[in-house]
Amino acid sequence: MLETAMFIGLSLVAVWAYVRFPRLRPGSLMRAVVHVVVSFVVFALLPATLGLVLPAAPSPGLVPYVVLALLIPSLTYLTRRFLQEVHRQINERRAPGHLHKQDQCNKEGPFPAVLR
């Protein structure tokens, strides 16, 4: 139950960061691919990093904080990159001549400015 709540919370943080900071989105497909690869590498290296860092913790009581300090940014970055890729795929699959109200998605984000 706690893992599910934590992942939902991190996903909400990723959505917030995606909507709040549109200038941080990659401008090209190549940059997006690089970001996705980096996010997966960071997440894949997390267990090895924890294996190196946890024995160096000065107190056993600090171990959960160290884990969270590494896990939260890693999962948030991974989820944010996933959201970016999904948004890009949705934009590419829209009909070319079909005008939507949110044609400014790449500049403003997927949500109206009122929600930000």
- Give the residue from 28, 38, 27 showing the smallest Cα distance to 82: 38
Tokens representing residue 93 in the block? 């699959």
* Confidence category of residue 34, pLDDT binned at 50, 70, 90: confident
Domain edges within the chain: 2-88+110-115
Residue 103 above 50 pLDDT?
A: no
CA 5 vs. chain centroid, Å, equals: 16
* Confidence category of residue 102, pLDDT binned at 50, 70, 90: very low
Mean pLDDT over 60-77 rounds to: 85
C-alpha 47/C-alpha 53 separation (Å) is 10
Q: Which CA distances in Å does 59 have to 46, 53, 56, 63, 115?
A: 20, 12, 9, 7, 43
